[in-house]
Structure 1
C-alpha cells in the first residue's frame, strides 16, 4: 500500500495549537506523521534532509511533505531539495530564528532562504502557508518583495487527493556566492549542472507595475497584499488597489468572474472589518461581472452594521451608478435590504429628541425634492425645471420650492471606498437654473456637500417643513429627507427612469404601467395599486441655425454616430470606447462625433490616429437640434444620464442605440427598444443601422413617433391630478390625525 508522509521539523514554536491543528488535519487525510522535535543549532544541518528521507521512508512512499515553523529550513529546502519532496508547508512563526545563525555558511544560507537568484532556478510547486489577515504582517515584507509571492499558496488550497509530479531528472544545482560554489548533493557526472548566482549585483529588481501585473494572477495573495497595505496605513494603498483592478478589468469575462468568486470567498473566510469589506467590495464592482451576488454582499455588509453608520450613505448613493454602469443586478433580497437600510439611516439621522411646535401644509404649494440639479444637458435637471415652469404657467397660484440634496456627493470624511462616483455640486450651476426658470418665483435650496450627511439631511428637512408644502414630489429613490417627512406629508415619487425600490410614497409615476406592475409582482416592495402610468412631457426646442457636414469635416457619404454628455469622463468607460473605436476602424465611412467637454484620456492615448479623422470632438454645441440634423444615429453608453439629449435626438429622427439597463434615456426610447445588456447585441444594432438605409429610416420614424407622445400640458394636468390622489391616500394612511393648517405634530428633532 502506498504511504503518504508528513515530516515535521518544529523549533521554538510560538503557536503550538496552530501547529497541532495542521498536523491533525494531515493525519485525518491519511498522512503518516514524523516529528523531529530535537532539532537545535548544534545538531541541525540543511544538508541532512536526504539522509532523513532515506531513514524514515519506505519504498512505498507515494507522497512526501515537509513542514516546519522555521522559515530558513523550508525556504532553503524548497530550492535545493525541490526534486526530493512533493510539497513544502511553512507554518508562519517568528520571521527569523537562530537555528542556522552560527553556521559558517550562514551568509550563503541567507541568500538561499531569502530567494536571491530564484528566478534563474527551476523549482516545482509552491510553499503552502497558513496565512491570513491575522498573521500576514509577519511575512509581508518578504512575500511581496519582487515576485516572491509566485512561489507560495494558501494552505487551504492544498490538494490532498492528487500527487504532484516530481522532476526526477532535474539538473544538479550549484550556487555561486562571493566566489564560492555551494552544492547540496555529491557531484554526478551524468547530470547536467544548473548554476545559480546569488550575488546581489546579479539580482534583478522588479518595478511595482511588474509586481502588480503578476500579483493579479493570484486572487488569494492579492487580497492579503492589499489588506496588509490597508492595515499598515500605506499612503499608496488606494492607488495601488485601483491599479490592480484596472488591470483585472481588462481580462476576459470568465477570468473576471472566477476572480470575483475566489476573492469574495477569501474575504468572507477572513472575517475582515466593516471598512475593509466595503473597500474590497467596491473594487470588485470594477470587474463588471453581471449578477446579483456582489450587490447582495454590499447590502449585507451595510445592514449588518450599526457602528459605522456615517459611512453607509455614500455606498447607497454609489449603488445607483454600480447598477447602471457596472452591471450589478438587483433581486428581491437586494430590494428588501435597501428598504431596511434607508429606514435605518433615516432613524440614525433623526435621533435628536426635540419636536417642531406646529406643522403647516398650504394648498397649491409643492415641494420638489431631487437628488441633484446639474446643467440643462442633464435629463433629470431639465425635466424637473420644465415641469416647474409649466405648473406655474398652468396655474400661477402655485408656489414651488425646489430642494436639492446632492445625494451623489459626500464630504471626504464619509467616503471610505476607492471606487466611487460623484458629480459637480449643484449650487455651482445655480445661475443656469435661475436663467432657465424664466423669472418664475421658485425657491431653490441647495445642500452643502462639505457638511456631514446628518447635518445636510436635518437642514433639508427643516427647509421643507418651513416651506409648508401641500405635497412633496421626489425624483429620488434614496432620499433620507423624504423618508423622514413621509409621515407628515403626501409624497409622490416621480421616476426618472427604472423602477423604485426603497421610497415610501402615496403615488408612483412610471412610464409603462404594465412593465412596472410586472416588476413589482416579482419584487413586492410597493403596492401595485399605487402605481400610475405617466407620460413625461417635453419642451424641446427647434433648430435655430443650419449646420453643414463640411463645417465639421464630414462628407455626405459618412455615417455619423453621435454621443452627447456633460460627464463623459465618467460615462465613456474604456470598454465602450474600445468597442466603438474598433467598429469605426472596421467601417470605411463610419464616424463618431463626441459632444461634451472631457479629457477622455483612454481615447487619446490608445486611438490617437482616429482623432480628427474618424472621431470628431466638440466641447460644446448650443444648438444640439441643428447638430443632430447632420447625424445618422445616437449611440448611448451605460449611464444614468443623457435622457434629454436622447429625446432631442429622437425628435430629429435619430435612431438610438441604447443598452437595456435602467437609465434616463431608456424611459424615452422604451425598454423594448433597448438592445440588451451585452456589447455583441449593441454592435450588431450599429451594423444594421450602418448597412441598411431602409432599417435606419424605419427606426427614425419609430423614435419620432414615440417622442411626439410626450406632451407637456397633458402631462402637467395628469401630475396635478395624481397629487390630489396622493393627498387623499395620505389622509387615509394617517387616519385624519394630521389635519391641514391646524394640527400640531411632532417631528423627531427641532427645526427652529
Structure 2
C-alpha cells in the first residue's frame, strides 16, 4: 500500500496524548474529606490490592478515587487518613507493591513512590519468576516517563529516577533476548554501504513534530547525501491501558499508515515498514530484527527512545541512537548522537547501556520552521503597539503551565505592566489557572490551537518557556524570527536557546523585558543573537553529516 505524506505539517512538539477514563465519578468535589475517601478505598480494595487488575469496574472506580484524592492533597488537604487506609491493604507480591506505590504517587503526590515503582519492576523482572508481564512493565515505564514529562508525577531525586529507568530498560531487553533466537552479525563487507535503515517509535501525520522532522531527515539523506533509506515505524507506544493509576495513558497512532509499504514524500518514494500498533512483543521484535538484518544496511539510525528493535540490532549491525531533543535517550545502541555536550555526571547512565563517553557523537539537532501563512500584527490581536507580547507555546500547556509558573508570570506583569502573555495551544484550564492571579488574568489570553504559529510570531516581542522537558521546536521557531526566547537552563529549550537567553529564575524575566523594550541598542543585539543561534541549529544536512562523519570516525578508531 502506498501512502502520500505531505512535506509540511503543522508545527508543534508532541509525543503521546493521554486518554482519561470514562464513567461516573465515585467521589467528587472538595467537600469529600480524605477520611471519607479512605473508607471508600478500604471498601473497594476489600478483595486485595490487585483487584483493579482483575475487575474492570474496580479499575475505573479506583482511578477516579485516586484522581480525586490527588486533587485534594494538591489543594492542601491532610493525606494521613488516606495513606493510613492504603497501608492497611495487604501486600504479598511485587505487583501489589507496584500498585501500592503507584497509588502513593498519583493520590498522595509521594515524590519517592515513582522511583520505587521502577525499582520494584526491575527486581521482579530479574527474579526469574516475575509477577509482572513484559507488556505490563513496558506500559508502566512509558506511562511514568510521560507522567513526569507532563508534570503529573513528582520526583524526589530525578537523577536516581533516571538511573532506575535505565536499569529497568536493560532488564527488559534481557527479557527480550532470552525469548529470541540468536543471530550472527552481518559482516562489514556484506553490508550495503549506501543503505540506511531509520527506525522511529512513532510516526504519524498531522501536528506531530518528530514525524515532520523525520520526513525532512529522510529526504535529505536521499537527495543531498546520496543514501538509500528504508523507514521503519516500530510503533511501540501502547494503544490500550495495561495497568491502573496511570490515567489510561495511550499513544497517538495513525491507523491508516499501519498498512503502508511505501511512503511518497514530496514525490520521493521511500520503502516503509510498519510494525503492528502497540506493544512490541519478543516475537514481533525478533521478526523485525531479522527483516532489518536481511536488508544488510550499512547503518541503523534509531530516532527517539525506548525502541527494543533497534537496541536488539546492536552487535549485529551498527546502531546510532538520536534523541528528538536534548535528553539522553533510554537506549543501548552502538553509538549515541547527542545534540549537546555530555555532562560528566552522565557517565554512569551511559554505562548501564554498555556505553562510554568516547562512543558519543556530538551533533546539533536542527529545526526547519514552516512558512508563515498570514502575517499578523498586534492590532490584529487587539493589542496596543506598546504591548510587550510574549508567547508561551505548546501542545500540552494544561500540564506544562504549572501554578508556580502562573504565579511567576503574575509577578512579572506586576513588575512590568506592559507585558502581555499569549498562551498558544490547547489549555482548557486557563480560566482556573489565572483566577488566583488578577494581574495575569488581565494581561493574558488563551489563543487555543494555532495552525499558523509563524504568522503569529510576526506580532511577538518575546518567548518564554514554562517548566518542561520539551518545547524545543517552538523556541527554535522564535529564534528564527529574531525573537529572544527565554528559558531556565533545563530541558530541550535550555539547549536550543543557549546561554544568552538562560534565566537563573523566572523572577529575572520582568527586568529583562524592560531592558529589552527600553534600550534599542540592546534590543538589536539580542535579536541578532537569536538569529545567530538559530543559524547554528537550522541545517538538517549538516546535522546528518555530523552523524555520518561521526560514525566514520568511530569505525576508524575500531
Q: Judge same fold: TM > 0.5, yes or no.
A: yes
SS at match of 1:414: coil
**Does structure 1 residue 386 correspond to structure 2 residue 208?**
no
Shift of the 448–725 alpha-carbon distance from structure 1 to 2, 3 Å rule, reads same
Q: Encode CA deviations 1:645-691: one digit per residue, 9 max, x unaligned.
A: 2101111122223344433x333123785446xxxx22x13322433
1:532 Cα deviation after fit: 2.2
SS at match of 1:560: strand
**Does structure 1 residue 538 correspond to structure 2 residue 349?**
no
**Does structure 1 residue 370 correspond to structure 2 residue 194?**
no
| Residue in structure 2 matched with residue 16 of structure 1 by the alignment | none
Shift of the 590–333 alpha-carbon distance from structure 1 to 2, 3 Å rule, reads closer
1:689–1:696: 8 Å Cα contact kept in structure 2?
Answer: no
Aligned match for 2:101, one of 281, 295, 312: 281
1:452 Cα deviation after fit: 6.1
Shift of the 569–208 alpha-carbon distance from structure 1 to 2, 3 Å rule, reads closer
**Does structure 1 residue 237 correspond to structure 2 residue 62?**
yes
SS at match of 1:410: coil
1:225 Cα deviation after fit: 6.5
Moved more, 606-615 or 311-320: 606-615
CA distance in 1, matches of 2:66, 2:141: 21
Alignment of 1:383-462 (within 5 A): 383-396=213-226, 398-407=227-236, 409-412=237-240, 414-419=242-247, 421-427=249-255, 437-450=265-278, 453-454=281-282, 456-458=284-286, 460-462=288-290
SS at match of 2:211: helix
CA distance in 1, matches of 2:185, 2:333: 23
CA distance in 2, matches of 1:604, 1:436: 43
- In our comparison, the structure showing a higher alpha carbon Rg is 1
1:341 Cα deviation after fit: 2.4
SS at match of 2:491: coil
CA distance in 2, matches of 1:415, 1:558: 48
1:278–1:301: 8 Å Cα contact kept in structure 2?
Answer: yes
CA distance in 1, matches of 2:495, 2:184: 42
| Residue in structure 2 matched with residue 528 of structure 1 by the alignment | 357
| Residue in structure 2 matched with residue 634 of structure 1 by the alignment | 463
1:712 Cα deviation after fit: 3.2
Q: Encode CA deviations 1:503-535: one digit per residue, 9 max, x unaligned.
A: 22222222333x434532687543111122212
Alignment of 1:639-678 (within 5 A): 639-663=468-492, 665-670=493-498, 673-675=501-503
Q: Encode CA deviations 1:264-299: one digit per residue, 9 max, x unaligned.
A: 9975995454444334434444589796x4443122
Aligned match for 2:116, one of 277, 285, 297: 297
1:490 Cα deviation after fit: 0.4
Shift of the 393–430 alpha-carbon distance from structure 1 to 2, 3 Å rule, reads farther
Alignment of 1:217-616 (within 5 A): 227-228=45-46, 231=49, 233=55, 234=58, 235-251=60-76, 263=83, 271=91, 273-286=93-106, 293-305=112-124, 306-309=130-133, 310-326=135-151, 327-328=154-155, 334-352=161-179, 354=181, 361-374=191-204, 378-396=208-226, 398-407=227-236, 409-412=237-240, 414-419=242-247, 421-427=249-255, 437-450=265-278, 453-454=281-282, 456-458=284-286, 460-500=288-328, 502-513=330-341, 515-520=342-347, 524-525=351-352, 526-541=355-370, 543=372, 545-569=374-398, 571-572=400-401, 576=405, 580=409, 588-596=417-425, 598=426, 600-605=427-432, 607=434, 614-616=444-446
2:322–2:336: 8 Å Cα contact kept in structure 1?
Answer: yes
Shift of the 286–240 alpha-carbon distance from structure 1 to 2, 3 Å rule, reads closer
Q: Encode CA deviations 1:367-414: one digit per residue, 9 max, x unaligned.
A: 122232355754433333322222222233x1112222334x314252
CA distance in 2, matches of 1:545, 1:660: 33
CA distance in 1, matches of 2:292, 2:71: 43
**Does structure 1 residue 690 correspond to structure 2 residue 513?**
yes
1:547–1:626: 8 Å Cα contact kept in structure 2?
Answer: yes
Shift of the 570–441 alpha-carbon distance from structure 1 to 2, 3 Å rule, reads farther
What residue ranges of structure 2 are gaps of 5+ in the alignment?
1-25, 125-129
SS at match of 2:358: helix
Q: Encode CA deviations 1:405-457: one digit per residue, 9 max, x unaligned.
A: 334x31425233334644421456899xx999322332333343356644653
1:245 Cα deviation after fit: 0.7
Alignment of 1:740-751 (within 5 A): none
CA distance in 2, matches of 1:312, 1:666: 31
1:471 Cα deviation after fit: 0.9
CA distance in 2, matches of 1:566, 1:406: 21
Moved more, 498-507 or 237-246: 498-507
Shift of the 208–495 alpha-carbon distance from structure 1 to 2, 3 Å rule, reads closer
1:488 Cα deviation after fit: 0.9
CA distance in 2, matches of 1:430, 1:211: 47
CA distance in 1, matches of 2:89, 2:350: 31
1:216–1:248: 8 Å Cα contact kept in structure 2?
Answer: no
| Residue in structure 2 matched with residue 215 of structure 1 by the alignment | 35
1:479 Cα deviation after fit: 1.7
CA distance in 2, matches of 1:229, 1:687: 55
TM-score by length of 1: 0.58
CA distance in 1, matches of 2:100, 2:370: 46
SS at match of 1:601: coil
Moved more, 540-549 or 648-657: 540-549
TM-score by length of 2: 0.75
Q: Using CA pairs under 8 Å that are at least 6 residues apart, name the structure with larger relative contact order, 1 or 2.
A: 2
* Backbone CA RMSD of aligned residues: 4.3
